[in-house]
Amino acid sequence: MEAQTRIYTAYRRVGLSGVEVYGHVGYYPEERKMGRLFRVDAEVDYRIEAVEAAPPIDYRHIADLIRELFSREGTLIEHIAERLAYAIMERWDLVEKVRIRVHKVHPPVGILAESAYAEVELSRFRT
């Protein structure tokens, strides 16, 4: 029986869940003027070639990107989620997939709702 050569690619997932940030984001001008609380979930899948002592992706850098995006006024949480996903993909070349969910806490929808959310998932295409 012939010995088989096995080739593996290792993937890891890191993330932040329930990051609370205040921002001036909303479709209506009064939402942007008043501001509100948002929660952000970020999942980052990346490939590794070898196990390293220090993590290649630091959660603090993801938190910094979230903080930076919410420091500016925005119109839609969909836009914020997409910008964050692209920023993470651009910052770390080893990232294969990103999933971002932005929750607008207690949205003004005429009924009590914990949150409204938008989710974006990006995958890297390699040639």
Domain map (residue ranges) of the chain: 14-123
Residue 53, pLDDT above cutoff 70: no
Mean pLDDT of 85-94: 95
Q: Which CATH number fits the domain 14-123, given the four candidates 3.40.50.150, 3.20.20.100, 3.30.1130.10, 3.40.980.10?
A: 3.30.1130.10
Q: What is the DSSP string of 20-75?
A: EEEE-B-SSHHHHHH-EEEEEEEEEEEEESS--SS-SS-HHHHHHHHHHHHTS-BS
Which pTM value belongs to this model?
0.86
pLDDT, residue 52, reads 67
Q: How confident is the model at residue 47 (pLDDT cuts 50, 70, 90)?
A: confident
> How many CB atoms neighbour CB 89 within 10 A?
17
pLDDT of residue 116 exceeding 70, the answer is: yes
CA distances from 55 to 8, 61, 89, 103 (A): 20, 12, 16, 27
